[in-house]
Structure 1
């Protein structure tokens, strides 16, 4: 489904403009490398993807998701609990939104996930099922979901996280009720529902050679020998700063040597907060190492980050005190990690400027005659003890009300100064202010400076 000119205009108006600093007259904004990651990946024969939240695919988030990545994975929208929260009642809204967005932006979709022990609906997990009933439920679910998107999904994570850390099979509804052949059956049913989609088994802590990845290796070897349809393995790669396994590339290679594709499916690299320059440099090196390991093996076909911005990451809510795990910060600015990926794909060595503060202007909502704007001021390698944000509206817009700043307007020129309580912006910190405005006809984004 192609987006209409009106929807593209709305997405543009909802976007954000970032400008750099302003501590010196020549400061420039932190911009991503000239060549998008998706294009660098194509040149290396790699698909570069990201997990996304469907409701956020507008504004700057949507612009970056569409421009930088050649594959999208629904973070939650295709899981059983999302698509069939009540038995026999389906909700495809977010999944459809993501698939439509991907098709409009020339992207693949990675389906995630058909069989998992988590995020299942309560009617399923709380039910009492005979093996025959459970088999019917699982087969019908796979037939329904894979069938709905037949021809539109490049690859499916068919079975997710089947193993314990020691390589034994995880005790789940599926394993306990159906035995280990639930895996082979799920793959077989998925192949029948969409013969052209690539089928994967996906797990975490299988990035290096260890007991868990050995179990995965033995499973997929057995499946291939039995003629069960299996095209690849997914290595999730939820990693910790400074702990990229030394055997990462070796592990990718041994799966490739079985005649399987390998995908890095959920890459993020978390650190203890707050982040600082040393941690961000290590994170860049880690992202570069992971990407380089994939580049080195021809059958490593996809590298997907699990959310590209820290504002859309699962890490901070799951691992208290840790975060900053993705290639972009919460204000959609590329971090050193972004350039680690870019460099490993053959991109330039441009890095974000240091010692800079920047402002991000966005339109968060808009209606017939009005809109709400937001400005975030953040610093990295620099700090502010007071600030003033200024811009010039380009289409007669006016500020009607502001909060967390004192704003004045003369003609098209707007000046907003800090309040008494938020003038300090520390290195690595940020402040924000908002305003309501009036517009008519168009609402182009202005360029903001901070002093």
Structure 2
């Protein structure tokens, strides 16, 4: 949950965005010849049963380029600021719905879900609430009345609500917010009960940051939601913000953490994804960022209860990051000029690999970005093995010219990659993703590329199936 600065942006024709996208495409997976022909994020997400969303800055909806991207690429929108308490109820009992209404109307015009954000939060409270003196009973009533009024107004129009936001300290104890200091942890259950009464069909979430992997903070969150469930409190899910740093993303740990919350019978969502870097950006950082975005997306897609991913903003120029982390930024899927970055391609590739396909031209073997069956062969050979490990070599032959590649395969349960060569390796659960090195990304039609690695925790299996760019290769 971060405030968002509003900047003046240049108006770009949609044709410029489409034309620029091809130039910005990463050597990440198989790269097509025309960005304009590629499916959007929402098109590849839909067949997977997940939503792909973005936070919407109300002040930028008048910008045609921003508005077009928001409308066409995403099927869910989150209010960045216009549904927060200081905006909605700036004076006690006096409500301003203009921005929230615009967001809901925008979503309805573009057949999008609405993710309401947020009802009870220690930050961005109006002055009358933050500085007011109230008895505990009065303060509880103020909170539940606010929740009831806001959720009731958008009953049937907002599908998910962040009911309580950022309730924990880093050590897993409750944040000493005004709500907690006056009401104790019971304010959380009361907020959820009020929201459920106001809209029985909306899904209700608690949301926090630095909880994407198992740590003291996420352990505290886990204990809370487990107890709320046991008490019959109407909580439906947990949102994990994922404000991350390039090169410091552990997709396997994210997946495992999502699953432990899902195992409580909860829906889990990636709610505020961005991955920042030290600026200026360069090709190496952008490729690593793409791998990191892919790792987060793969983690969600591997957990059936993970219902979607929301990126926190569209363009780097509009991101909150540089204001809060000086010298850092470039955290979003589009760059300062609204050109799609490698991170955008990585998100798209993740959904395609999970079954999103290419609805624009399904299965056309003539499209280099969408290889058909038989477009590659792969030899997966275990050259040496022992009780706790093995050495593997993989050679892939492609019938199509590649400008960058991404190969994937599964290792046996408990087996991990201990080190590799001739590629960049990442692992999420049993799934291993290998992307080209700087020197072997260009492969001619009919050519081959090879990589190798060593395992730990057990041996790999000869003849393991390999996929290239989301398409399974024949054994070769």
Please, what TM-score do these two structures have when normalized by structure 1?
0.72
8 Å Cα contact 1:156/1:199 also seen in 2: yes
Report how many aligned residue pairs link the two structures.
338
Query: 1: distance between equivalents of 2:12 and 2:235?
Result: 42
In the TM superposition, what are the counterparts of 1:366-385 in structure 2 within 5 Å?
none
In the TM superposition, what are the counterparts of 1:184-203 in structure 2 within 5 Å?
184-203=189-208
Query: 2: distance between equivalents of 1:55 and 1:331?
Result: 17
8 Å Cα contact 1:20/1:30 also seen in 2: no
Q: CA RMSD in A?
A: 2.3
Q: In the alignment, which of 282, 290, 297 is matched to residue 288 of structure 2?
A: 282
Aligned to 2:325: 319
Query: 2: distance between equivalents of 1:113 and 1:148?
Result: 14
Query: 1: distance between equivalents of 2:234 and 2:20?
Result: 51
Aligned to 1:9: none
Query: 2: distance between equivalents of 1:32 and 1:281?
Result: 22
Query: 2: distance between equivalents of 1:290 and 1:132?
Result: 42
CA positional deviation for 1:32: 6.4
1:79 paired to 2:84: yes
Deviations 1:126-175 (A, max 9, x none): 11111011011101100110011010001000000000000000000100
Which structure 2 segments of 5+ residues have no match? 1-10, 24-31, 359-367, 371-402, 405-476
CA positional deviation for 1:15: 4.3
Aligned to 1:41: 45
Please, what TM-score do these two structures have when normalized by structure 2?
0.68
Q: 1:54 to 1:205 in 2, by over 3 A?
A: same
Q: In the alignment, which of 57, 61, 71 is matched to residue 61 of structure 2?
A: 57
CA positional deviation for 1:302: 1.3
Q: In the alignment, which of 153, 157, 161 is matched to residue 152 of structure 1?
A: 157
Counterpart of 1:251 in 2: which secondary structure?
helix
8 Å Cα contact 2:258/2:268 also seen in 1: yes
Which structure 1 segments of 5+ residues have no match? 1-12, 355-451
CA positional deviation for 1:242: 1.0
Deviations 1:426-451 (A, max 9, x none): xxxxxxxxxxxxxxxxxxxxxxxxxx
CA positional deviation for 1:21: 11
Deviations 1:4-48 (A, max 9, x none): xxxxxxxxx98443145999xxxx998367111112111111110
Query: 2: distance between equivalents of 1:302 and 1:192?
Result: 25
CA positional deviation for 1:203: 0.2
8 Å Cα contact 2:33/2:369 also seen in 1: no
Query: Which structure 1 residue ranges, 4+ long, deviate > 4 Å from structure 2?
Result: 13-16, 19-23, 347-351
Query: 1: distance between equivalents of 2:369 and 2:91?
Result: 50
